[in-house]
Amino acid sequence: MRHVAVVDLGYGDAGKGTVVDWLCATRGVHTVVRFNGGAQAAHNVVLRDGRHHTFAQFGAGTFHPGVRTHLSRHVVVDPLALAAEADHLATVGVTDALDRLTVDSDALLATPYHRAANQAREIARGADRHGSCGLGVGETVAYGLAHPDDAPRVADCRSATLLRRRLTALRERLTAELGPLDAPPVEDCLPAFTGFAGRVAIVDGSWLAGALRAGTCVFEGAQGVLLDEWHGFHPYTTWSTTTFANADSLLTEAGQPRATRIGVLRLVTTRHGAGPLVTEDPTLLLADPHNPTNPWQGRFRFGHFDAVAHRYALAVAGGVDGLALTHLDLAGPELRICRRYDTTDRLTPGPPGDLDRQAALTARLLRSRPLYDDPPADWTEAVSAELGAPVVLTSHGPTADDKTPHGPLLAPPALVRAA
């Protein structure tokens, strides 16, 4: 048994959800562990019969009976959004999603006050918006850092008295800073949060160790490495560590070895939100039905395959055991590969925490221009050669049936035994 960790080596939206769904369809997975992000994640899974769900907090293996979801302490948990997600899952045939959910008691709690503050700040930026999803995830993390002993956490939902005190302090602090918030009174919020505590299994940090011993687990990352809080292109980043680091720490604490690392890449480099996208090309007449324009992030942007940016993401992530290359059905003569910019062919990671350095890198990328080569005869071979890692899974469509493993690393266990 070897656990698997899945991380996006772009700006998000590369297909992590569909890769996790495929792993759960082929490997007898016990639990999908979410290890960063929150309700702003949007991992789309489409089944053979056409059913579709955008997984935000539930693991992308939830369509498979018996596969559990665990929200680790590194996830920002939004009970209101979670309830809405469970309701949609019920409409597509998954009626027991909440029964298969465990939540770490120490995880930060996202509230309507965080969401309202996040939206107020983003609106105030005007033309300099950062591309926030407007769901309050970053605001929740920021408040947790500023007030670590008073920030609402999942465990607080068990006590209406404690939660009332912490929500009241939260609302008063944010109101004093930003003015009146477009959010309900504390008393109106309490029933939903205490009801959440009565409906889901809230566990301590030791629960995960048992799940890791019980069967194969898939660690499902959120967002992308190029949006990482320390190594992304500041300020157009997420308040989350999007590399394998959180998954590694959870495994180490449980006495488990490092998981098999899978980096997910899309054949077309994309970005939802503001910030650098060096290979962006408005003449690429592409669309993504699951990533429409929205009022917070704006339009979904498309570019040619950016090997320079993805090499940087791979270095930041500390390497992978294999790559999953998705959206190969978009390959065509108009899609080219960028191996270098007019300024450089390699971006060097810096020390975590040096946001001035990252901001300077952002400014440099915004001035950079791509240099293109013609589309390769074999995209799989070209991507592997450029990034120095094997492509172990390819995808030509949204369903698990559209996936093809290459080599033994991700081959279904039955095929490995037969070989």
Q: For 228, what's the count of Cα atoms within 13 Å in the CB-facing half-sphere? A: 30
Is 144 annotated as contributing to ligand binding? Answer: no
The sheet that has 217-220: what strands, in order across it?
201-203, 101-104, 68-71, 31-34, 217-220, 4-8, 260-266, 322-326, 391-395, 403-405
User: How do the residues of the chain divide into helix, strand and coil, expressed in percent and rounded to 5?
Assistant: 35, 20, 45
Of 302, 299, 308, 301, give the one whose Cα is nearest residue 361: 308
Is 13 annotated as contributing to ligand binding? Answer: yes
Is 327 annotated as contributing to ligand binding? Answer: yes
Is 206 annotated as contributing to ligand binding? Answer: no
Is 329 annotated as contributing to ligand binding? Answer: yes
Is 409 annotated as contributing to ligand binding? Answer: no
User: Pick the catalytic residue: 3, 30, 43, 304?
Assistant: 43
Is 223 annotated as contributing to ligand binding? Answer: yes
- At 9, list the tokens: 């080596």
Is 130 annotated as contributing to ligand binding? Answer: no
User: Pick the catalytic residue: 13, 156, 248, 281?
Assistant: 13
| Per-residue DSSP letter, 201 | E
- Ranges of H-type helices in 125-244: 137-146, 160-178, 186-199, 207-214
Tell me the Ramachandran region of residue 66: left when phi exceeds 0, alpha when psi lies from -120 to 50, beta otherwise.
left
Which residues are CB-contacts of 211 (< 8 A; sequence separation ≥ 6)? Answer: 30, 31, 33, 68, 70, 217
Separation CA 309–CA 341 (nearest Å): 10
Q: Hey, is 264 helix, strand or coil?
A: strand
The H or E element that residue 371 is part of is strand 370-373
Which residues are CB-contacts of 7 (< 8 A; sequence separation ≥ 6)? Answer: 16, 221, 224, 225, 242, 243, 244, 261, 262, 263, 264, 317, 320
Is residue 43 part of the annotated active site? The answer reads yes
* Side chain identity, residue 358: Q
Separation CA 236–CA 234 (nearest Å): 5
Is 330 annotated as contributing to ligand binding? Answer: no
Backbone torsions φ then ψ of 220, nearest 5 degrees: -105, 110
State the binding site.
13, 223, 238, 327-329, 395-397
Binding residues for GTP: 327-329, 395-397
Annotation: binding site for IMP:
223, 238
- Give catalytic residues, as residue numbers: 13, 43
- Residue ranges for the known binding site for Mg(2+) are 13
